[in-house]
Amino acid sequence: MTNTTNRRNFLKMGAASASVLPFLRAMPATAQGSDTLVVVTGATINSLDLHRTGTSRASYQVGINCYDRLVSFGTKEATGGGLSYDYEVIEPELAESWTESDDGLTLTFKLKSNATFWDGRKVTAADVKWSFDRAVSVGGFPTVQMKAGGLERPDQFIAVDDETFVIKLDRASKLTIPDLAVPVPYVMNSVEALANATEDDPWAMEYLHTTPAGSGAYKVARWTPGEQLVYERNDDWVGGDLPAIQRIVIREVPSPATRRALVERGDVQIAFDIPDKDAAELADVIDVFSTPVENCIHCLCPNFAFEPFQDSNVRKAIAYAVPYEDIFQAAAYGRGLPMWGGEEEINDIAWPRKTQYYTDIEKAKELMAASAYPDGFEVPLSISLDLASWMEPTALLVQEALGEIGITVEIEKIPGANWRTAVLVEKRLPLHLENFGGWLNTPDYYFFWAYQDGHLFNSSNYRNEEVEELTNATLHMPMDDPEYAPKIMRMFEIVLDELPRIPLYQPALNVAANGAEGYEFWFHRQLDSRPLKLT
């Protein structure tokens, strides 16, 4: 063999490199077994920036996996198996420590000195300020969510020096710190963002939409909307324990049947958010985590704008007529928690809680007879076609049961695009199904959205002066305040007696795993990829 390159050698070299090329184009097949985890989901990730208008829920996971917040929640054992985030425990993420002033109006955060963005630049308090300014300024959902924690204006955020960040509050609130741990207030690389901002786009919405610039545990390696998102681990992450998995592929598969086949065969390790039916059937075969969604209740809502529902006896008659157990089995396949047949006396502040109602047709008939409508009436029951999987069986069972007490129900199906306008904004549906779930896990937060007059999820047009007052009083009050528990219990008592929302059951978020462990439930109902491991 000579070292000279003659024509024959050259051709040989060409052939050799040509045969290697295809292997370079494909990821090494062995990678799949050792350090790549595949997740299938039915939802579309349509932006890598949560702050953008129109960002889908599924996209929030990018905010969780690719960005850091100042603080995060702890971990606990979950009801129904697996792990869950722990609302009670706040853990550091970007912040090393924090202090609260005595009046609770000034929060001072000390940032980790070794935290860096992916481009190697140190994370500074100026980045935190810029990111928070952005969240309260861009409008829409991020701004609303920031407001829930009392964070409303840029002048509340002060970068004292590189590692010290201060938040000034207008009033002390127990919701502020937890609100810093939700996906919205994440910290972006402001230098990189500003370099790509324009005069029309001062917050670099267009750039960050497709190019995340964070310090989080995972970087986005590839993103094809409607197909897949590939995460690559950031080995320099200091926000928590370094994730075990090098690469995570989030693959979008719209058909639930296909998702089920894939996870059952073990070709993918996690099927995220599977239907209750599949969860019930797969539970014997592979690992299925059905975690009841915290602070979320599926409700039947009689609207006070519809005259017969202003009669308290009619609402109670409905609450006794509803076939709870049948609904729980038919609509949820027993996944989640029952919300009926509890004690009438209220001794604790756990929410969601079992109501004192149960299925008793005779009692329902007596209540109807005692009402102003002994001969019954006609009413449409509205459901959303997008949520038909639980709403349709529920509506049919409610229709049948209310027929027995003289209420003629006609089921009205509303297209998904129209649903939110009709039920939440116009609040014009006389009888409907609704499922609000609050991110911040306190009863007062639920009441703020679902029972206060004019608020978005109060789709029953309910107004009770005492509830208004109590909700306002408890919303920012610390939970260990001696006045807190009695006030909350009084609120429970009123709304469970007046029934603007009739709780049916607490739904579950179902996740199937085959070859992966460490799944953790989060209130935002998206997959936190960081604690996952392959088995």
Partner 1 sequence: MLAASPRLRATMLRVAQSIPVVIGVVIISFLLTRALPGDPAVYFAGVAADTESIEQTRVAMGLDKPLVQQFFIYVGNLAQGDLGQSLTSGRSVAADLAKRLPASLELTLSALILAIVIAVPLGVLAATRPGTWVDHLCRVIVTAGVSLPTFFTGILLIYIFYYLLGIAPSPLGRLDFIYLDPDHVTGFYLIDAALMGDWETWVGAAKQLILPATTLALFTLAPIARMTRAAMLTALSSDFIRTARAAGLSSRTVLYRYAFRNALLPVVTTLGMVFSFALGANVLVEKVFAWPGIGSYAVEALVVSDYAAVQGFVLAMALLFVALNLMIDLLYTAIDPRIGFSSK
Binding site for partner 1 (CB under 8 A): 18, 21-23, 25-27, 29, 31-32, 38, 40, 44, 46-47, 52-57, 59, 139-141, 143-145, 148, 209, 224-228, 230, 249, 251-255, 257-258, 261-262, 264-265, 267-268, 386, 415-421, 424-425, 439, 449, 455-456
Residues in the chain: 535
Closest distance of CB 256 from partner 1, Å: 10
209 or 476: CB nearest partner 1: 209
By the 10 Å C-beta count (0-12 exposed, 13-18 middle, 19+ buried), 357 is classed as: buried
Least distance between partner 1 and beta carbon 366 (Å)? 40
- Residue 447 CB, nearest distance to partner 1 (Å)? 14
Give the nearest distance from C-beta 32 to partner 1 in angstroms.
6
As a whole number of angstroms, the distance between CA 101 and CA 464 comes to: 35
Specify the residue for token string 């939440």.
424
CA neighbor of 123 nearest in space, from 243, 238, 240: 238
Query: C-beta of 53: minimal distance to partner 1 in Å?
Result: 5
CB of 495 to partner 1, least distance (A): 20
Tell me the closest approach of the beta carbon of residue 427 to partner 1, in angstroms. Answer: 12
Measure the CA–CA gap between 42 and 525, rounded to whole angstroms.
13
Closer to partner 1 by CB, 177 or 424: give it. 424
DSSP string for 462-512 = ---HHHHHHHHHHSSS-TTSTTHHHHHHHHHHHHHHH-SSEEEEE-EEEEE
The answer to whether 371 and 313 are in contact (CB under 8 A) is: yes
CA atoms within a 13 Å half-sphere pointing along the CA-CB vector of 98: 22
Q: What is the DSSP letter of 424?
A: I
Q: Give the residue with the Cβ less far from partner 1, 12 or 147.
A: 147
Kindly state the smallest distance separating residue 61's Cβ from partner 1, in Å.
Answer: 14
Closest to partner 1 by CB, 170 or 201: 201
Tell me whether residue 272 or residue 439 sits nearer to partner 1 (CB atom).
Answer: 439
String of b and e for 52-73 (b: at least 16 CB within 10 Å)? beebeebbbbbbbbbbbbbbbb
How far, in whole angstroms, is CA 270 from its chain's centroid? 18
Contact 46, 225 (CB under 8 A): yes
Opening angle at CA 405, ends 399 and 411, nearest 5: 20
Nearer to partner 1 by Cβ, of 244 and 385: the residue is: 385
Q: How far is the CB of 416 from partner 1 (least distance, A)?
A: 5
CB of 113 to partner 1, least distance (A): 35
Backbone φ/ψ region at 82: left (φ over 0), alpha (ψ -120 to 50), beta: left
Q: Which of 216, 256, 252, 265 is nearest to 236 (CA)?
A: 216
- Report DSSP letters for 134-174, one per residue: HHHHS-SHHHHHHHHTT---GGGEEEEETTEEEEE-SS--T
Residue whose CB is less far from partner 1, 119 or 152: 152
Q: Which is nearer to partner 1, 56 or 535 (CB)?
A: 56
Residue nearer to partner 1 on the CB measure, 251 or 354: 251
Q: Give the shortest CB-22-to-partner 1 separation in angstroms.
A: 3
Residue recorded with tokens 């690719």: 66
Residue whose pair of structure tokens reads 């912040």 in the numeric block: 95
- Nearer to partner 1 by Cβ, of 89 and 417: the residue is 417
Question: Quick one: CA dihedral 27, 31, 36, 39, positive or negative?
Answer: positive
Question: Is the Cβ–Cβ distance between 296 and 522 less than 8 Å?
Answer: no
Q: Which is nearer to partner 1, 51 or 112 (CB)?
A: 51
